[in-house]
Amino acid sequence: MPKSPPPSPANDQALREHQPGGGQPKIEVSRGNGGELHQNLASGDKSADAAFLTDNFGHRISDNQNSLRAGERGPTLLEDFVLREKIFHFDHERIPERIVHARGSGAHGVFECTKAIPGLTKASIFQKEGATCPVFVRFSTVAGGAGSVDTPRDVRGFAVKLYTDSGNWDLVGNNIPVFFIQDAMKFPDLVHSVKMEADRGYPQAASAHDTFWDFIGLMPEAMHMIMWAMSDRTIPRSLRMIEGFGVHTFRLVNEKGEGKFVKFHWKPVLGVQSTTWDEAVKIAGADPDFHRRDLFEAIDAGDFPAWDLGVQVFDEAFAEKQPYDVLDATKLIPEEDIPVEIVGRMTLNRNVDNFFAETEQVAFLPSNIIPGIDFSNDPLLQGRLFSYLDTQKSRLGTTNFHQIPINAPKCPFHNFQRDGMTQTLVPTGRANYEPNSLAEAGENGGPRASAETGFSTFTANDERNDPAQKLRIRAELFADHFSQARLFYLSQTENEQAHIASALVFELSKVALDHVRARVVGQLRNIDGDLATRVAAGLAIDLPAKEKAARAPVDLKTSDALSIQKNADDTMEGRKVAILFAEGSDKAAIDKLKGDIESADGTAFLVAPKVGGIKVKGGTLKADGQLAGSPSVLFDAVASILTEEQAKALSGQGAAVQWFMDAYGHCKTIAHDEATQLLLDKAGVEKDGGVVAIDEFESVGTRRHWVREARVRDLA
């Protein structure tokens, strides 16, 4: 038989040139179950042999460029196991995306207990101040698919996996403390209504359409959540600037078996900040990955985002006195009634090594709790305890998803569960059942349950119903759907109330079914008459009759803690300021402003009509971004240092005029020199407390100037 022709010299040389290390393949590393580094080969071989390319079973490959053929121009042979394995793996390298929370961003970090609370819980992580454990966090949107954008009006998932020495604790929540529904029975209906409409496949990642608002109009229990969803909470500035909530009421249990209710809160160290709706829309076009990029770049630069973990702890006596049911996921407990006690801090300090292996394959389970933490009888939580476990088999293809490194605990685990698809562990011995008496024969009998140290469900349950009584029923106070919705709305500033009303007008204007719009506005009348009137006027419809409430709402004391603007931090930390310059600009003035921003822990980003070295007064400056590709919506404030000649030239460019027009319209600080005034006039920028001279910028900072909003856009 003739010998196979050798590869052509030209092709062989090209291959060598594209191999790092003079033709030796680069050895990739990944992180194992315990976080340790190892070579990314099935054998884990760290010797010189690891430099050889192999198939998945360790067979070295002689040619990774050409299929095996019957002759130079003949058909490809089925016996080519290298080709078949490579194509087989490629054909199956995508897994089903999550039904909700499909688009996510993840990062590694550490949690530290800053205040021990052994009197409240026996959870190991809270027994000693300074105790730490690794964490993995996944932030996500809810309604859109994996390929959607980062900035739609949507709830943000906030899921934390704490790898404690007692096992994994998954605190799986959102950036909003309440939810749309009270019972898990309604979750498929909620998601079906907000997803793309079934007959047309759109809109993607949007709730502004008929089916969602039809469902909402028929589900008054959702109205509290709608207030949050229509607020600026659902158009965040950054994932680093959102709060996180466990949503449900959980239990803390101490060593004595005493239990109390608890609500979990994550408070961002950088404070809470949002965008405006117009910004969110434009950011989606300018940078669909805005939040993902922001999180990655912050961690990459060493600006590690952090959150304080807080708890609201209360007993049955407090719960009984409230005009709402603490087991109702559509309700919150105002911080004025039960202050949030800070007990720990979480810091994200490492980006993922591989997006698929970690962010995409991570599986969160609300059922993952540790001794000292327990569930309540919240009916929405009870349904989630089943749903999350059930969905992992669909996504990850096996009951052994817990063996994937990102999901595996960092403490030992032993049980009698065996086999299953993609089993990677190799249990030894005959014991795969319990109880057994193999130990009496000198064999390994395997692990045993421990009544003393194992997890035991809280039994001294003094909640409203006898725990043994199983009913398809909701407690009476669950019927109050509007009191806390009113509380939330009335706790906002006038400007934030206008945002909510305007968001409702926008969303309902996309609804083509007249009766749906009318019903929703009728439900709004149960929250606040002025809000309903404003929304009806914005839709140009007659104010409909008030929808009947199953339980009359009660007036609750307003809570300033529910407002973003009332709690806004006047800080530069974590914020990004754009400085526009051009040829001839004063380098000394730019350097001073840049230094002032950075000394206040902000980030200065230089923008110019062209990137690369630009001649300026006093030297040369390189821009970080080009004007057309760096719109002002990407920044928290803008500044401009130009010559009269360049200002005149830029005033004829739409991108430059829009740059200032958007910054002004989004109520941002604009710092400028005298020459820039020509551009400001062209953009319709009027002087106010947020349009200042360059030397006044530090006193104004990156705060929003909401008093301007009524002049720049119509609000409901």
| DSSP assignments along 422-452, one per residue | T------SS--SSS--GGGGTS-------TT
Rounded to whole angstroms, the Cα distance separating 349 from 305 reads 8
pLDDT band at 388 (very low <50, low <70, confident <90, very high): confident
Rounded to whole angstroms, the Cα distance separating 291 from 709 reads 25
Q: Which amino acid, one-letter code, is at 176?
A: I
Contact by Cβ (8 Å): 346, 164: no
Contact by Cβ (8 Å): 184, 380: yes
pLDDT at residue 396 greater than cutoff 60? yes
Q: Are strands 637-640 and 669-672 parallel, antiparallel or unpaired?
A: parallel
Rounded to whole angstroms, the Cα distance separating 702 from 576 reads 8
Q: Encode pLDDT of 107-134 as tens digits.
A: 999 999 999 999 999 999 999 999 999 9
Q: What is the dihedral of CA 389, 391, 235, 524, to 10 degrees?
A: -90
pLDDT band at 426 (very low <50, low <70, confident <90, very high): confident
**Locus of tokens 């990459």:** 300
pLDDT at 288 (0 to 100): 97
Average pLDDT of 611-631?
95
| Total residue count of the chain as it appears in this document | 716
**Locus of tokens 């059930």:** 390
pLDDT at residue 308 greater than cutoff 60? yes
Question: Which residues, other chains included, contact 225 with Cβ-Cβ below 8 Å and sequence gap of 6+?
Answer: 176, 178, 179, 180, 330
**Locus of tokens 């580094």:** 37
Instruction: Tell me the percentage of the chain whose pLDDT exceeds 90.
Output: 71
pLDDT at residue 303 greater than cutoff 70? yes
Rounded to whole angstroms, the Cα distance separating 518 from 531 reads 14
Peptide bond into 25 cis (omega under 30): no
Rounded to whole angstroms, the Cα distance separating 372 from 367 reads 14
Average pLDDT of 474-488?
94
pLDDT at 49 (0 to 100): 60
pLDDT at 8 (0 to 100): 40
**Locus of tokens 């207990």:** 113
Question: Which residues, other chains included, contact 174 with Cβ-Cβ below 8 Å and sequence gap of 6+?
Answer: 142, 155, 156, 157, 158, 244, 245, 247
Question: Which residues, other chains included, contact 82 with Cβ-Cβ below 8 Å and sequence gap of 6+?
Answer: 55, 61, 63, 64, 68
pLDDT at 692 (0 to 100): 96
Rounded to whole angstroms, the Cα distance separating 646 from 657 reads 13
The DSSP H or E segment spanning 310 is: strand 306-314
Q: What is the CA radius of gyration of the chain?
A: 29
Strands (E), 19-87: 29-31, 37-39
pLDDT at 526 (0 to 100): 97
pLDDT band at 421 (very low <50, low <70, confident <90, very high): confident
Least confident segment among 126-140, 267-281, 397-411: 397-411
DSSP state of 4: P
pLDDT at residue 20 greater than cutoff 90? no
DSSP state of 357: I
Paired with 7 in beta bridges are: none
pLDDT at 472 (0 to 100): 67
Residue 371: strand, helix, or coil: coil
Distance set, CA 223 to CA 98, 191, 471, 598 (Å): 26, 16, 25, 43
599 dihedral zone (left: phi>0; alpha: psi -120 to 50; beta): alpha
Q: What is the pTM of this model?
A: 0.86
Buried b (16+ CB within 10 A) or exposed e, 558-567: bbeebbbbee
Sheet containing strand 603-608, edge to edge, reads 625-626, 603-608, 576-580, 637-640, 669-672, 691-693
Rounded to whole angstroms, the Cα distance separating 575 from 566 reads 19
Rounded to whole angstroms, the Cα distance separating 368 from 390 reads 13
DSSP state of 356: I
Average pLDDT of 567-578?
94
Least confident segment among 91-100, 252-261, 522-531: 91-100
Higher pLDDT, 512 or 502: 502
Question: Which residues, other chains included, contact 262 with Cβ-Cβ below 8 Å and sequence gap of 6+?
Answer: 120, 249, 250, 251, 252, 311, 312, 313, 314
Average pLDDT of 575-584?
97
pLDDT at 39 (0 to 100): 37
pLDDT at residue 257 greater than cutoff 50? yes
pLDDT band at 278 (very low <50, low <70, confident <90, very high): very high
Rounded to whole angstroms, the Cα distance separating 655 from 660 reads 9
- 101, 224, 248, 265: which is the annotated catalytic residue? 101
Least confident segment among 40-49, 347-356, 583-592: 40-49
Mean pLDDT (the chain, rounded): 89
Paired with 17 in beta bridges are: none
Least confident segment among 461-475, 517-531, 565-579: 461-475
pLDDT at 244 (0 to 100): 98
Instruction: Tell me the percentage of the chain whose pLDDT exceeds 70.
Output: 91
Q: Helices H, strands E: what count in the chain?
A: 19, 20
Structure tokens at 544: 């409909």
pLDDT at residue 23 greater than cutoff 50? no
Rounded to whole angstroms, the Cα distance separating 6 from 2 reads 12
Average pLDDT of 332-345?
98
pLDDT at residue 465 greater than cutoff 70? no
Closest C-alpha among 177, 141, 137 to residue 156? 141
To the query of whether residue 101 is one of the catalytic residues in this protein, the response is yes
Structure tokens at 176: 């909003």
pLDDT band at 15 (very low <50, low <70, confident <90, very high): very low
Q: Which amino acid, one-letter code, is at 502?
A: S
pLDDT band at 32 (very low <50, low <70, confident <90, very high): very low
pLDDT at residue 563 greater than cutoff 90? yes
pLDDT at residue 441 greater than cutoff 50? yes
Rounded to whole angstroms, the Cα distance separating 121 from 431 reads 35
To the query of whether residue 174 is one of the catalytic residues in this protein, the response is yes
pLDDT at 456 (0 to 100): 75
The domains of the chain, with CATH numbers, are 9-91 (4.10.91.20), 104-403 (2.40.180.10), 491-564 (1.20.1370.20), 574-712 (3.40.50.880)
- 11, 59, 66, 174: which is the annotated catalytic residue? 174
pLDDT at 24 (0 to 100): 39
Average pLDDT of 296-305?
98
pLDDT at 143 (0 to 100): 96
pLDDT at residue 601 greater than cutoff 90? yes
Q: What is the dihedral of CA 183, 188, 194, 198, to 10 degrees?
A: -150
Average pLDDT of 141-156?
97
Could you tell me the maximum CA-CA distance found in the chain, to the nearest angstrom? 94
pLDDT at 460 (0 to 100): 65
pLDDT at 26 (0 to 100): 39
The DSSP H or E segment spanning 692 is: strand 691-693
pLDDT at residue 35 greater than cutoff 70? no
Rounded to whole angstroms, the Cα distance separating 550 from 110 reads 46
Q: Encode pLDDT of 45-67 as tens digits.
A: 445 566 788 877 777 888 888 88
Rounded to whole angstroms, the Cα distance separating 220 from 550 reads 9
Q: Encode pLDDT of 167-205 as tens digits.
A: 999 999 999 999 999 999 899 999 999 999 999 999 999
Rounded to whole angstroms, the Cα distance separating 316 from 259 reads 10
Q: Encode pLDDT of 632-651 as tens digits.
A: 999 999 999 999 999 999 99
pLDDT at 427 (0 to 100): 85
Rounded to whole angstroms, the Cα distance separating 53 from 55 reads 7
Paired with 616 in beta bridges are: 619
Rounded to whole angstroms, the Cα distance separating 163 from 170 reads 9
